Structure 1
Amino acid sequence: MGQEPIRRWESGALAHAVSDPFGQGPLPWLRGSEHYFDDTGQVVPWYVEHASPPGADIPAARTGGPLNADDVRRQIKGFTSTGAAAPGEAIDFHVTVDPPQQFSVDIYRIGHYGGDGASKITTSPRLSGIVQPAPLTADRTVSCHHWWLSWRLQIPSYWNVGAYVAVLTTADGYRSHVPFTVRDDHPADLLLLLPDVTWQAYNLYPEDGRTGASLYHAWDEQGRLLGEGEAAVTVSFDRPFAGAGLPLHVGHAYDFIRWAERYGYDLAYADARDLHAGRIDPGRYRGLVFPGHDEYWSPAMRRTAELARDGGTSLVFLSANTMYWQVELAPSPSGVPDRLLTCRKRRGPGRPALWRERDGDKTAEQQLIGIQYAGRVPEPHPLVVRNADHWLWEATGAHEGDELDGLVAGEADRYFPRTPLPEHQGRILLAHSPYTDTEGAKRHQETSLYRAPSGALVFASGTFAWSPALDRPGHVDTRVQRATANLLDRICKRD
């Protein structure tokens, strides 16, 4: 009897509420004819998919290599019950394996590594896999906090800080992924902040047509996908990521990391929850870099970013739709801090969850970032250079009015004239790019830079396409690479 075909929404690439034309990006341990569905339904490379019935819109799986686990059969799925950890500390993995069998864990560190994109750091011993209990659900909150500990990774003192991925593989060849971060408190030129809070907001695990829920979607009893009005209000970090186990927007951060490490920037690493929990002293860094889609912010995250700027630490926002929703973080049922993420959005009593609606102009994103979210960009449009004589565009070859093809994509920010700007000693718009929105209306995107009274620079790209242009195959733009280097060199005092 053949396997039941995998339906589209079981692939781990459901059509999420926000379009990201870049998906998860190239993963160096995936080679060959792997495919991945982006959230517009298009097939893009670097993703393993299961075999499909004739005529289906899902490509057949390749043969002779691992297959990605899914959320229906849960061949192998896992998560870490610890946040970012330092060398000398431990990361705890909780893994379910069905049917029960041995599995192993390959640990990769994301970086340039001569173009490979990552390097295998270590491999676990063979581990005994068990079928963990079904996820617990309450008011659409899905949690696996009751899963048994499967493996504890003691991080050696000599490991480099960075973004890591654990690749879990069963004896019979199914694979899943678990991202984690290794950080420390040593000073560095730049602190890279991985947007784990936003990653979890989009996590629909288990993407099984019954149980899973994110802050965007859930299912009814007939397996129909429900929208934001029926989605979860609270989601848990104590669960795997849907599908192949990597967050929907993870590629933005990995693109920046590969590029920045290739050119030797002095990087430290942390998660957004570290920013929330007060574990970050901005004074240790010349700049904080937010490399990817970073939509969900707690008040504590914002306070720390504002204190950083006001203390002379620059801020670099390389995506769009940053700091759009205000969220709360709370302990898990067992008391572990910052394991539950709540955002009521427009539902229920209390104040609205949009930052720009919390306290009028005083809390609008533009007050920190310099521009703010304007809307989705259904089809890529050119980024149109403005103020080409500014030092950001120096040596890029860009001229006034030049169009950087495809560089306004996914989502876009712009300057809102009726919303006050932050206090500044100079502010400039470096791109002004027309595009057509989902309703067919004419809109525009803008790229912003201002200098705070402290001397800190605050840059906002205003588009999803900036980080992929640094090092994503098929998306690299040398002008964006040079402009980003101009910015970071100035922040790091290389000029």
Structure 2
Amino acid sequence: MIEGYVGRESVTAGGILALHVSTDAPIYRVRFYRLGNELELVRESVWQPGTLHSPPPHPDGHPAGASPAVDWNWPSVEFSIPDSWRTGIYLAHFIEGGPGCEDSPPVLDGSTIEGFEREFFIVRPRQPGKLSRILYKKSTFTRHAYNRSDRRDEERAASLYDNPVYLRGEDGGGPGHQVSLHRPGGVIDLAYWDAPFISWLERSGYAVEYCTDLDLHENPALLTGYDLVLSVGHDEYWSQAMRTQVEDFVRAGGNVAFFSANTCWWRIHSIDGNSAFRSDTDHRVGDEYPHLPATDQWWPPEPHGVGAPENTLTGVSFRNGGMWASSDGSWPGDRPRAGYSVQHAEHWVFEGTGLRDGSNGGIQDALGAGTPLIGYECDGAAFFYDAQGVARASGADGTPDSFLILGIHLLQPVHHDFHRFKHGHWNCTVREPSITSPRAATMGVFTAGGTVFTAGTTDWPVVCGREADAGVVRVTRNVLDRLSVRITTGG
């Protein structure tokens, strides 16, 4: 048995990476891989003495026994990161040694990224923006919210969603569910969303630099070296500092591509020296909701929310989107495969796709038809159909006036329809007693100094990365090629 976590999920090339490892084996070593076009083995450490450590107990005494809320505080071993390592996302694979252990298991490849006994970290360049003006922001706060701290042989179910810990804020940290960044859990989301997209980026010739949510949260000057920021996959949890910096970046002419959904749904507050965060969400603790309405939802007005609809950042919101799950509980579940109905086919986003919008009396094409492009979760904007049958954003939910709907898919039926839940991911009858807009996954673009493109679906990077649809691939290229240089006009 072996497991571990990183002291910090990013390190500058030439810096020090701290790994916290627990094992019942007498010795262990670490293989380091870089995630790119292929999974590349870049280093293997010498053997280290192994020691076994226990997780901190759950404060409510759950049988699983582990707390998601506090630093697990295992001793660390430091590894020097060579100055020559390229920026990117790396895996640390923990390998047991000694009697009864397979001292040299097979080298990992692209099909074996997901699993336990491993963690990921990011190597940042010493000079931001020197290699590339594109910054890939890995959604690490969301990863920690969902991290269950399971081990291959033990299901702990210790996360914000399973056996969460809610603190009332008497310690001065404010009320909310608390999640520690210092605990193990293996690699799941990286393998599903990020790995195929990163592989596609590299084999397609796009040079990209990387950061974590915490890097963006801590460094107000981080974005000054870039022209385009990428949000990929599932990017649900944002701090105020993150949001402010991205919005300022756009106002100054920077561009953002949200190849993601459920984006900026909850606000988080970084605490304990940025080793943990709290968020006043609506997740149950046992059979009770500690606080409703949850005040860290971005869109509802104060005092029962933040009062800053995520639409002003992204153009869309999970509020008018949907979520898909299989009847048997499997993930990511069954999804619509009709794709996005194309609008404004003359727009630069569709250049070279050959797609049509039906405005000339022909057939209205669908982007991504036959693929699960309409993702596990998707975002939408309040909209209406004009006299010509074209969907247009109403702005009733905070979507900017300049937002142009380029693709739309009505979500009928919605597997998880929060409008009809008494309590759900946004306490629906408390928040919004009646449905204010049809539910639809929405792809679009708007300008606010710089340009913001939103895919409106978590699974865009999966479909593109696997090259499952030529139109999705070409649209992605168009977005990257145009927005990788700052522009302040057009849209």
Judge same fold: TM > 0.5, yes or no: yes
Q: Distance in 2 between matches of 1:199 and 1:439?
A: 22
Amino acid at match of 1:438: H
Residue of structure 1 equivalent to 2:398: 420
1:396 is matched with which residue?
Answer: 353
Matched, 1:377 2:324: yes
Partner of 1:277: 218
Residues 364 and 155 of structure 1, relative CA distance in 2, 3 Å threshold = same
CA contact (8 A) 2:280 2:294 kept: no
Provide closer, same or farther for how the CA distance between residues 279 and 170 of structure 1 changes in structure 2, counting only shifts above 3 A.
farther
The aligned runs of 1:33-52 (5 Å cut-off) are: none
Structure 2 counterpart of 1:65 = none
1:147 to 66, 70, 74: 74
Residue 216 of structure 1 is matched in structure 2 by 161
Residue 420 of structure 1, CA deviation:
2.8
Distance 1:362 1:343, change over 3 A: closer
Tell me how far apart the structure 2 counterparts of residues 80 and 342 of structure 1 sit (CA, whole Å).
20
TM-score by length of 2: 0.74
Whichever residue aligns with residue 340 of structure 1, its letter is A
Select 1:191's aligned residue among 104, 122, 135. 135
Alpha-carbon distance between aligned partners in 2 of 1:166 and 1:357, rounded to the nearest angstrom: 40
Distance 2:53 2:69 in 1: 14
Q: Cα distance 1:303–1:439, how it changes in 2: closer, same or farther (>3 A)?
A: closer
Partners in 2 of 1:451 and 1:361 — Cα distance? 24
Structure 2: 5+ residue stretches without partners? 61-66, 106-115, 166-175, 283-289, 326-333, 358-363, 383-393, 421-437
Residues 1:266 and 2:188 are matched in the alignment? no
- Which residue is 1:450 aligned to? 446
Measure, in 1, the Cα distance between the counterparts of 2:473 and 2:216: 27
Give the deviation of 1:438 after TM superposition.
1.1
| Letter in structure 2 aligned against 1:470 | C
Cα 1:361/1:90, change in 2 over 3 Å: closer
Q: Which of residues 277, 280, 287 is equivalent to 2:228?
A: 287
Kindly, what percent of the aligned residue pairs are identical?
27
2:22 is aligned with what amino acid?
Answer: T
In structure 2, the residue matched to 1:488 is 480
Residue aligned with 1:158, SS? coil
**What residue is the counterpart of 1:29 in the other structure?**
none
Q: Does 1:93 align with 2:28?
A: no
Note the C-alpha offset of 1:363: 0.4
- SS of the aligned residue for 2:230 comes to strand
2 CA distance for matches of 1:324 and 1:118?
A: 32
- SS of 1:467's equivalent? helix
Paired AA for residue 410 in structure 1: Y
Select 1:433's aligned residue among 388, 402, 409.
Answer: 409
- Classify the secondary structure of the residue corresponding to 2:261: coil
Q: Distance in 1 between matches of 2:189 and 2:137?
A: 17
Query: Can you list the C-alpha shifts for 1:30-62, whole angstroms capped at 9, x where unaligned?
Result: xxxxxxxxxxxxxxxxxxxxxxxxxxxxxxxxx
Deviation of 1:186 (Å): 2.0
Shift of 1:258: 1.2
Query: Quick one: which amino acid aligns to residue 194 of structure 1?
Result: K
Q: Structure 1, residues 73-128: CA drift from partner, whole Å, max 9, x if none?
A: xx110001123110111010011112x2222211111111xxxx211111111222
In structure 2, relative to structure 1, the CA distance for the partners of 1:271 and 1:317 (3 Å cut) is same
1:205 aligns with 2:149: yes
* Cα pair 2:71 2:275 within 8 Å, conserved: no
Name the residue aligned to 1:468. 462
Greater Cα offset, 352-361 or 405-414: 352-361
Q: 2:310 aligns with which of 342, 361, 365?
A: 365
Structure 1 CA distance, aligned partners of 2:72 and 2:416?
42
Q: How far off is 1:283 after superposition? A: 2.1
* Unmatched tracts of structure 1, length 5 or more: 1-74, 221-231, 332-336
Counterpart in 2 of 1:123? 44
* Count of paired positions: 390
TM-score under structure 1 normalisation? Answer: 0.73
